[in-house]
Structure 1
Amino acid sequence: MIRALALTVGLLLPGLAVAACGGPSLLDDLTAAESATLAEAVAETPYGTGLLWRATRDGREVTLLGTMHIHDPRHAALLEQVRPLIAAADEVLLEVTPREEAAMQAAIRDEPERIIITEGPTLPELVDAATWEVLSEAAAARQVPPFMAAKFQPWYLSLTLGVPPCAMPDLAAGLRGLDHLVMREAEAQGVPLRALEPWDTLFTLFDAGTMDEQIALLIYAAGPPELQTSTFVGMLDGYFDGRIAEVWELSRIATYRTPGLDRATADALIALTEERLLEQRNRAWLPVIEAAGPGPVLVAVGAAHLPGESGLLTLLAEAGWRIERLPLTR
C-alpha cells in the first residue's frame, strides 16, 4: 500500500521531513467504527507499543531502536537517551549507511532509467487524461513540475506524491531524521556502521512489481492533501508516544478513506506492500542481526519494522531471543 509506503514513509524510508505539517489529527476524526477497529487491531499486534527494545540470547545483547526517517525537533531528546547505547555498541546496524547512500546516488546519476522513463510511453500516455490531470496537479503542489513528473517511474512518483505539500520545505532543506542522527553520533564516537541490506534493495523490490501494479499504486497515491496531512499529524504524535501499531493501523484507515479506492483493492495493495517492504526485508535482516557483534549491537531501523507477527521482535523471539522493552521519556 502506498499509504504505508508514503504516509508511513517516515517509518520506512530515509529522507523525508514533515515538521512543517500541523493542524488536526486524523485520530480526532475517526468514526466510532474506525476507532473500534483501530483499538482491536492494536490490541492484537505483538510488541505494538514501544520504540526501544533489548534482545538477549546466550550472553549476547542487541538493542533495537525504532526510528523515524523524517525530521522532528523531538528527536533530540530520544538521541540523548540512546547516546550511551551507541557508545557501548560494537557496531550500529542501519538500513543504509553513508556508503550505501553514495552508491544509490551514483546509480541514479549513471543509470537514470532507474527512476526515469527513458523509453516507451510516459505517464500521461499510461493513464487517462482525467487521472493525469489529478497527478500533475498533485506533483505541482509538491514542487515537481508536471513535465518532470511525466517521466518519473510510477513507483518513484508514488513516493513523491505520498509526501504532503506541507512537508516539502523541510525535505528541500535536507533535514533528516533519527536514523541520521544516530549515524552521525556513531561516527563521532568511532563506532562502526553496517548496512542491513544492499543499497539497491528497494529498487529491486519495486522492479519486482508489474507496471499495472505500479500504476494502481500511483493513482491512489495522489490522495486528498488534507487527508495526508491529518494522517501525518496523527502518526507523528503516535510515534513519539511509542504507539507504533496504532501508527500503522492509522495509515490503513487513511487508505480505506482514499476516494475512488474500493476495499478489496485497498486490501490487496496493503498486503502487497507489507510483504515487499516490511516482511521480506525483516526476514532478510534477521541473519544479519544475529551474526553481528560479538559485543553489544544497536539496530536502528524504521519503527514499522519492529511490531507485528512478522516484525523483527517476533522473529527474534521465535529464534530464541528474550525480548524486553526499555523505557524512554519524552
Structure 2
Amino acid sequence: MKYLLSIIIAFFFVSSNAQQLEKSLLWKISGKGAKTSYLYGTIHATCDSLLDKKVENALKETKQLYLELDMDDPGMQMAMMKDMNMKDGQTLDQLTTKEDYDMLSNFIQENVGVPLGMIKTIKPFFISAMFIPKILDCPMQSVEEHLMKIGKRYNEEVFGLETVEEQMHVFDDIPYKDQMDELVKSAKDNLANDKKEFQEMLAVYNTHDLNKMLEFSATAENKLTSKFESQLLTNRNQNWIPRIEKIIKTTPTFFGVGAAHLGGENGVIRLLRKQGYKVEAVF
C-alpha cells in the first residue's frame, strides 16, 4: 500500500531534449555551503534490490536518509487510505461504459480477488497498482526498504521529502477518466503490454543511464506521465528543491527518490545545479 504512487510512477519516464547526463544513479551534492550529501535514483518495484557498495558507502558517510515519504512512519498507511477515494462521490462505473466496467469487474475479481463494487470509489490509478505483483512476475523487492535497512545499520533516521497528503492529491489533479481509460486498457490485454514495458523499464534502469530512462517514455503506450508530467514529476521536483536546500545546509543527507525524478531539464539534478550546487556523478 505505501508504495502505490511511487511504484506506478516507476513504470514511466518523461522524455526530454536536455543535455545528456553521465551514466550513474548515485550523485554527490556539494558546494554553496552544503554539507556533502548524496542523491540516488531508486526503482520502487524490482526483482533484485541489491545495492552497489558505493551506495552503502554514501549512506555510511551521511547522517540521515530522506525518501519521497517517511516510510517508517507507523501512521503512513492510515493516512494513505484516507485519501484514496475520488472526490465528489464519483465512482468507477461513471467513468466508462457498462460493457467495460463489467469486463473490468471480472478481471479484478480474477486477478486481485476483490469485488470491484467494494472499491469502486478508489482512484483508478491505485487500482492499477494492485496489478504490480502480477506484472513483475517475481517476489517483489523494494530499493527503499533496502536503503532503510542499511541506514538503520548506521543509525540513520528516515524522513520524507513530502507528505502522504501531497502525494495522494496528485491524482486529484489528473482526470479520473484518463486514469480509468488506462486501467481498462490494461485489463483488456490481460496486462500483456504492462508486463512487456515493465521488463523493458527494468532493463533500462539497470543500465544506470538516466538519458535512456527519459527516452523510454517516447515509445511507451501508457500516456499518463507524458500527458501529466507537471503533476507527476515537474511540480514535485520543484517543491523538493527548497526542502533539499534547507536540509543539506545543516546535515549530510542521503536522498533516495525515483530515478524518473533525476534527469531532464526539470529534474532534481539540473534544478540543484541551477541553484548553484555542484552535483556530480559517482561512478
TM-score range relative to shorter protein: 0.7 to 0.9
1:285 aligns with 2:260: no
Q: Work out which of the residue numbers 120, 127, 148 in structure 2 matches 1:183.
A: 148
Give the Å deviation of 1:272: 4.1
Report whether the alignment pairs 1:245 with 2:214: no
Q: Which amino acid aligns with 1:323?
A: V
Which residue in 1 is equivalent to 2:29?
55
2:162 alignment partner, SS class? coil
Superposition map of 1:77-156 within 5 A: 77-78=51-52, 80-100=53-73, 102-108=74-80, 111=82, 114-116=83-85, 120=89, 122-140=91-109, 142-147=111-116, 148-156=118-126
Are residues 246 and 181 of structure 1, via their aligned partners in 2, closer, same or farther at CA, if it must alter by over 3 Å?
same
Separation of aligned partners in 1, 2:169 and 2:177:
17
Separation (CA, whole Å) in 2 of partners of 1:288 and 1:118: 29
Report if aligned partners of 2:27, 2:280 keep a CA contact under 8 Å in 1. Answer: yes
Q: Find the counterpart in structure 2 of residue 31 from structure 1.
A: none
Deviation at 1:295, TM superposition (A): 4.3
Q: What count of residue pairs does the alignment treat as equivalent? A: 274
Structure 1 unpaired stretches of 5+: 13-37, 259-265
Q: Any residues of structure 2 matched to 1:209-224 within 5 Å, and which? A: 209-222=174-187, 224=189
Q: What is the deviation of 1:306?
A: 0.3
Closer/same/farther in 2, CA of residues 320 and 203 from structure 1, 3 Å limit: same
Cα separation, partners in 2 of 1:244 and 1:144, compared to 1, 3 Å: farther
Worse overlay, 300-309 or 244-253: 244-253
Q: What per-residue deviation string (whole Å, max 9, x for no partner) do you get for residues 30-51 of structure 1?
A: xxxxxxxx9xx67745427321
Taking only aligned residues, the RMSD between alpha carbons, in angstroms, comes to: 3.1
1:77 Cα deviation after fit: 4.0
Give the deviation of 1:81 after TM superposition. 2.7
Which blocks of at least 5 consecutive residues in structure 2 are unaligned?
Answer: none
Q: Which residue of structure 2 aligns with residue 305 of structure 1?
A: 261
Higher helix share: 1
Matches within 5 A, 1:227-266: 227-255=193-221, 266=223
The normalised TM-score by structure 1 is: 0.71
In structure 2, what is the Cα distance between the partners aligned to 1:138 and 1:212?
19
Provide the secondary structure at the position in 1 that maps to 2:37: strand
Q: How does 1:67-86 map to 2 (within 5 A)?
A: 67-73=42-48, 75-78=49-52, 80-86=53-59
Contact (CA 8 Å) 1:68, 1:178: kept in 2 or not?
A: yes
The change in CA–CA distance for 1:249 and 1:146 in structure 2 (over 3 A counts) is farther
Cα 1:323–1:190, aligned 2, differ >3 Å: closer, same or farther? same
The 5-angstrom pairing of residues 10-25 of structure 1 reads 10=10
